[in-house]
Amino acid sequence: MYKILGIGNALVDVMTLIPDDTVLEKFSLPKGSMQLVDNVKSELVKKETEHFSRSLSSGGSAANTIHGLSMLGVTTEFIGSIGKDDLGDFFENDLKKAGILTILTRRDSSTGTAVALISKDSERTFATHLGAAVDLNAEDLNPIDFKGHNLLYLEGYLIYNKPLVDAACRFARNENMKIALDLASYNVVESKLTEFREIVEKYVDILFANEEEAKAYTGLEPEGALDAISKVCEVAVIKVGGEGSWIKRDSEIIKVGTVNVDLKDTTGAGDLYAAGFLYGYSMHKNLEVCGQYGSLLAGKVIEVLGAKMSESSWHEIKAAISEIG
C-alpha cells in the first residue's frame, strides 16, 4: 500500500446550521462558494451565528482527505501551519487521534478557521480566515519529509502561494511520487486559472474537480472537460453531484453512480471522495472500483454534519469496501 503525504491549509471547521440565507446576504457570501475573509469579518460572522447549532472539527480540504485515508488504514502524513493557541492544539490532536503523522509549524498568528454555513437544502458556504495556515511557505518544506512516500496530495486552495506548490511538486517528483490535486472551488479556479494550468500541465497525475470547477478550468461541460483534462493528466476525475462521477485515463472512460443516502450536509463530500478514490488507487484497484470507493465515502459523509464520521460509520464503510472488492 502507498504512503501518502498531504499538504494543505490547517483549519478548524466551525460547522454552523443556518435557518435561511439571510446571513449569507448580509456578509455578501455567494451560496455554495468558499470566500476568504479577514479576521474582522470572520469574527463578525461567528458572532452573528453564535446562537445557531454549531460544532468544531479539524478541517481544511487536504486534511479531510488525509484523515479519511488514515481511517482506512493508509499510512499518512500531513504538513501544515497552525497557531500557538488552543485551536492549534485541537487541530493537531484531532489528526493524531486518527493516526496521522503531523509536521505542523507553530506561528504567532491565530489558527485558521473555516466557518461552514450550512443551509436547509444542505448546501454549504465557507467564510474562511486562513490565519496561521497561510504562513506555510516553501522554506518550511524539507525534502527529507517526502522520502518514502508514494503520492503527494494537494488542495487547490494552496495555489495562492504558488512558490509553495512548485516546491512541493519538485520535491515529490525528485522522489518519483505521484501527484494528485483537487481544484478546490470554482471561484478559486477562476481567479488563479493561469497558475493552475501551469501546475497541472507540469506536475499533476490525478486531477479532481466538480463540474463547476471543471467548467471554470476548461470552459466546457463535464464530458468535454473530462476529455480536455485527461490530455494533460494521467487520470481525470469530474464529480457531477447526484449523477456520480466521470473518470478517464487514456481512452478508458468510466461512469460511476452515487449511493442512496439520507442527505444532511455536503461538507467534505469532495474531500472524502478523493480519500476513497486514492485508497483504491493505492491498492492498485481499477478505475471503476476507485470511483466506487469514492462514491461510498462521499455518500457516507453527507449523512452527517461536517467532514468527520463516527467509528460505526467507518466500520460500515470498511464492510462495504470488502463487498465491492
CATH of the domain at 261: 3.40.1190.20
Taking the C-alpha atoms of residue 292 and residue 290, their distance in angstroms, rounded to an integer, is 5
Q: What is the pLDDT of residue 148?
A: 96
Determine, yes or no, domain membership for 143: yes
38-47, 113-122, 162-171, 237-246: range with highest mean pLDDT? 162-171
Q: Tell me the Cα Rg of the chain.
A: 18
Predicted local confidence at residue 32, as pLDDT: 86
Is the pLDDT reported for residue 143 higher than 80? Answer: yes
Question: Which residues are 83's β-sheet partners?
Answer: 107
The per-residue pLDDT for 305 is 72
Average pLDDT, the chain: 93
Say whether pLDDT at 264 is over 80.
no
Q: Is the Cβ–Cβ distance between 13 and 59 less than 8 Å?
A: yes
- Between helices 287-301 and 311-324, what is the axis angle to 10°? 160
Model pTM score:
0.90
Q: Tell me whether residue 43 is in a domain.
A: no
On whether residue 154 sits in a domain, the answer given is yes
> What is the rounded distance in angstroms from the CA atom of residue 306 to the CA atom of residue 58?
10
Q: So what's the pLDDT on residue 201?
A: 96
Rounded to an integer, the average pLDDT of 260-277 is 85
pLDDT score at 184: 85
Does a structural domain hold residue 310? yes
Distance CA 246, CA 238 (A): 5
- For residues 223 and 215, give the distance between their C-alpha atoms in angstroms, rounded to a whole number: 10
Check whether 156 has a pLDDT greater than 90.
yes
**Which residues have C-beta within 8 Å of that of residue 194, sequence separation ≥ 6?**
none
Q: Is residue 316 part of a domain?
A: yes
Residue 194: strand, helix, or coil = helix
Residues 181, 235: contact at Cβ < 8 Å? Answer: no
**219 vs 263: CA distance, rounded Å:** 30
Residue from 177, 223, 180 nearest 199 by CA:
180
Q: Read off the pLDDT of residues 185-217 as tens digits, 9 standing for 90 and up.
A: 898 999 999 999 999 999 999 999 999 999 999
Tens digit of each residue's pLDDT (9 = 90 or more) over 242-261: 889 999 999 999 999 888 77
Q: Is residue 86 part of a domain?
A: yes
Strands 206-210 and 11-17: unpaired
Query: In this structure, is residue 121 part of a structural domain?
Result: no
Pairing, β 151-155 against β 235-239: unpaired
Domain that holds residue 176: 3-9+60-111+138-324
Confidence grade of residue 262 (pLDDT, cut at 50, 70, 90): confident
**Which residue(s) pair with 206 in the sheet?**
180, 235
Q: Could you tell me what percent of the chain has a pLDDT over 90?
A: 81
Confidence at 89, pLDDT banded by 50, 70, 90? very high
Examine residue 257 and state whether it is found in any structural domain, yes or no: yes
Instruction: Count the domains in the chain.
Output: 1
151 contacts 5 by C-beta, under 8 angstroms:
yes
H-helix segments, the chain: 22-26, 39-48, 61-71, 86-97, 162-174, 186-191, 193-203, 211-218, 222-230, 269-282, 287-301, 311-324
Burial (CB count <10 Å: 0-12, 13-18, 19+), residue 139: exposed
219: confidence class by pLDDT, cuts 50, 70, 90: very high
Closest CA to 153 of 6, 1, 2, 3: 6
Q: What distance in Å separates the CA atoms of residue 242 and residue 219, rounded to the nearest whole number?
A: 21
What is the percent of the chain where pLDDT is above 70? 99
